[in-house]
Amino acid sequence: QKEVEQNSGPLSVPEGAIASLNCTYSDRGSQSFFWYRQYSGKSPELIMFIYSNGDKEDGRFTAQLNKASQYVSLLIRDSQPSDSATYLCAALPTAGGTSYGKLTFGQGTILTVHP
Amino acid sequence: EAQVTQNPRYLITVTGKKLTVTCSQNMNHEYMSWYRQDPGLGLRQIYYSMNVEVTDKGDVPEGYKVSRKEKRNFPLILESPSPNQTSLYFCASSFGQGYRNTEAFFGQGTRLTVV
């Protein structure tokens, strides 16, 4: 079982809609979770991180974390064509010592926002 | 400007010819990592380093070596490259001082082709 799994997509939504990206993780002790956006041929860039249960909002983006269900999601409101990219979910494993550098990534979900 | 710099950006080499991909960061980060990215597999960690002279294997270390003689540099060495190491490689760095400060900053990527 992969440690971090994302809905494989690709996901296609119309401009202005809400895009919902999902991620589950297997390490129950995981502490922090990250959403990265990666445009084709470019390096990943951080959109949001979350470490507490509940919702975290930043502009059009909302990250949701449910540790009991081991589930993380990213909602993009008012989706724009410029949001078309691959979205990567990452988890930081059980805290302590050397683990802070060991991010584990999901396989990514390709999002296309069409006009 | 805070950045992670990888070189070269593109490299075509032949099987068995030793090569080094350099990575340097100017943010005084403790943690540095190497990832490879392949279609459908997401980002997989090769090696990571917690500080100078401290390194550990990631998920796919076979065929790779690293060293961390200075805090800012973390080169990736392929002693005898093989075609299955053809991939897109990313270097990343982060503070790693607790689970709230582990945003990873990525280099521009190195596209390696081994023929």
Q: Do A101 and B41 touch (CB under 8 A)?
A: no
- Give yes or no for a contact between B24 and B32, defined as CB atoms under 8 angstroms apart: no
Q: How many residues in chain B? A: 115
Residues in B closer than 8 angstroms to A88, CB to CB, are 42-43
Q: Is B96 on the interface with A (CB under 8 A)?
A: yes
Q: What is the pLDDT of residue A104?
A: 87
Residue A64 pLDDT exceeds 80: yes
Is the predicted pLDDT of residue A98 greater than 60, yes or no?
no
So what's the pLDDT on residue A101? 65
**What pLDDT does A92 receive?**
84
Residues of A in contact with B109 (CB under 8 A): 41-43
Kindly report the backbone phi and psi dihedral angles of residue B83, in degrees, each rounded to the nearest multiple of 5, phi listed first.
-55, -30
- Taking CB atoms and an 8 Å limit, are B33 and A101 in contact across chains? yes
Check residue B41 and give its pLDDT: 84
Q: Taking CB atoms and an 8 Å cutoff, what residues of chain B touch A31?
A: 99
pLDDT band at B110 (very low <50, low <70, confident <90, very high): very high
End-to-end alpha-carbon separation of chain A, Å?
Answer: 37
User: How far B97 CA sits from the closest chain A CA (Å)?
Assistant: 7
In the prediction, which pLDDT does B115 show? 97
Which residues in chain B touch residue A102, judged by CB atoms under 8 angstroms apart? 33, 45, 48, 56, 58
Which pLDDT score is estimated for B2? 80
Q: What is the 3-state secondary structure (H, E, C) of chain A?
A: CCCEEECCCCEEEECCCCEEEEEEECCCCCCEEEEEEECCCCCCEEEEEECCCEEEEECCEEEEEECCCCEEEEEECCCCHHHCEEEEEEEECCCCHHHHHCCEECCCEEEEEEC
Q: Please give the pLDDT value at position A93.
A: 73
Per-residue pLDDT tens digits for B61-77:
999 999 999 999 999 99
Decide if B51 touches A, using CB distance below 8 A. no
* Confidence bin at A7 (pLDDT 50/70/90): confident
Mean pLDDT confidence for B44-72: 93
Give which of B72, B65, B79 is closest to B107, Cα–Cα.
B72
Q: Is the pLDDT of residue B37 over 90?
A: yes
Give the pLDDT mean for A65-70: 94
What residue in A sits closest to B33 (Cα-Cα)?
A101
Q: Is the pLDDT of residue A89 over 60?
A: yes
pLDDT of residue A2: 63
B102 and A92 within 8 Å at the Cβ level: the answer is yes
Q: Who has greater pLDDT, A58 or B101?
A: A58
Contact A101 B35 (CB under 8 A): no
